[in-house]
Amino acid sequence: MSRTPALDEVTWRSGELEVTALPGVGCRLHRVRAFGIDVLRTPDTPQRHREEPFFWGAYVMAPWTNRADPLPVSIAGRRVDLAPNFPDGTAIHGLVAERAWERTGEATFRTAPPPGAWPWALEVTAAIELVGATLRLEYRLTNLADGPMPGGVGLHPWFRRPIEVALSAASVHADNGAASSEHVPPDGRFELQGGPLPEGLDATWLDVEPPRIALRWPLLGLAARLTLDAGDAPVHVAVASPADPEAVAIEPVTHRPWALRRLANGEPGAMRLLAPGEFQKLVLTLDFSRGEDPRTHLAAEERVWLDR
């Protein structure tokens, strides 16, 4: 009889932050509190993460993010045949969001996909660091196979509403549910310049530059600057604002939606092919602040960018 890993909670604290992760179910962040305020959609009991794994906290997506076709496809000389795991019939958000992760240090973890689910050997690692009001998260996907492997990584946080969001991007993949979605200018409802998100968004902002996002919880007097680093890969940000009033998803990722299909078809924005031993990283740094104007921690040029 297989044993379901226990939902042990691991918590770290600094003077201003409290972070709780669940290594037994995706090493996901169950709770992030800044200055005593919860910023994630945290369920009443950790068991809800198992029951509804895609709708709580913040979880890692690898070796791909967003949707993929659950159809056999040949990539780099190997056959990829993914199983659907979402009501729309797609294979979504990778293979490690529900896996048990092994703790390798005080705040470091690692895991791998289920046997046979991916035709390459790989490892995904996480490192969590709290310093004052700053939370740093580093995720790495490493190719352990003897040939090139497609790979991407992302984080899927559900941030509590009401929240205001600002970011700057070159264009927008307007519909994450459609592989052939048109790339449009970030105008109209896709213009995220510091206000509430329009309801019903499910899109990806491409080539975010500078690679950072400004977040603000106006009723809580709380703000955060989310800085992103994916090494040589571009940084894209998927955003979903469903009708559910509780939370919005703001997901930094290293490739565009439907990236396996893009790679097979030679289209732009596909997953990278990682050489044996090569890794794809994604580093997220959240700097929180409080005050009468919680954006005062931003540099002058960033305040102009947020307030324009």
Does residue 268 or residue 154 have the better pLDDT? 154
pLDDT exceeds 50 at position 1: no
Q: Compute the average pLDDT of residues 240-262.
A: 93
Residue 90 phi/psi, 5-degree rounding, is: -95, 170
Confidence class of residue 298 from pLDDT cuts 50, 70 and 90? Answer: very low
pLDDT exceeds 70 at position 249: yes
Q: Compute the average pLDDT of residues 3-13.
A: 80
Q: Compute the average pLDDT of residues 68-97.
A: 94
Query: What pLDDT does 3 receive?
Result: 45
For residues 213 and 155, what is the distance between their CA atoms, to the nearest angstrom? 14
Contacts of 3 (CB under 8 A, 6+ apart): none
Q: Taking the domains of the chain in order of start, what are their residue ranges?
A: 10-307
pLDDT exceeds 50 at position 248: yes
For residues 270 and 181, what is the distance between their CA atoms, to the nearest angstrom? 14
For residues 171 and 34, what is the distance between their CA atoms, to the nearest angstrom? 32
Contacts of 110 (CB under 8 A, 6+ apart): 101, 102, 104, 123, 124, 125, 126
pLDDT exceeds 80 at position 293: no
Q: Is the pTM of this model over 0.85?
A: yes
Confidence class of residue 5 from pLDDT cuts 50, 70 and 90? Answer: low
Q: Architecture of domain 10-307 in CATH?
A: Distorted Sandwich (2.70)
Q: Compute the average pLDDT of residues 180-188.
A: 89
Query: What pLDDT does 295 receive?
Result: 46
Confidence class of residue 243 from pLDDT cuts 50, 70 and 90? Answer: confident
Does residue 71 or residue 3 have the better pLDDT? 71
If DSSP states are collapsed to H, E and C, what string results for the chain? CCCCCCCCCEEEECCCEEEEEECCCCCEEEEEEECCEECECCCCCCHHHHHCCCCCCEEEEECCCCEECCCCEEECCEEECCCCCCCCCCEECECCCCCCCEECCCCEEEECCCCCCCCCCEEEEEEEEEECCEEEEEEEEEECCCCCEEECCEEEEEEECCCEEECCCCEEECCCCCCCCCEECCCHHHCCEEEECCCCCEEEEECCCCCEEEEEECCCCEEEEEEEECCCCCCEEEEECCCCCCEEEEEEECCCCCHHHHHHHCCCCCCEEECCCCEEEEEEEEEEEECCCCCCCCCHHHHHHHHC
> What residue has token string 């603000």?
216
Q: What's the mean per-residue pLDDT of the chain?
A: 92
Q: Compute the average pLDDT of residues 259-276.
A: 93
pLDDT over 70 percentage in the chain: 92
Task: Write out the two tokens for 158.
Answer: 């559900």
Query: What pLDDT does 307 receive?
Result: 42
Query: What pLDDT does 251 receive?
Result: 98
User: For residue range 31-56, what is the model confidence (pLDDT) as tens digits?
Assistant: 999 999 999 999 999 999 999 999 99
Angle at 187 between CA 295 and CA 257, to 5 degrees: 90
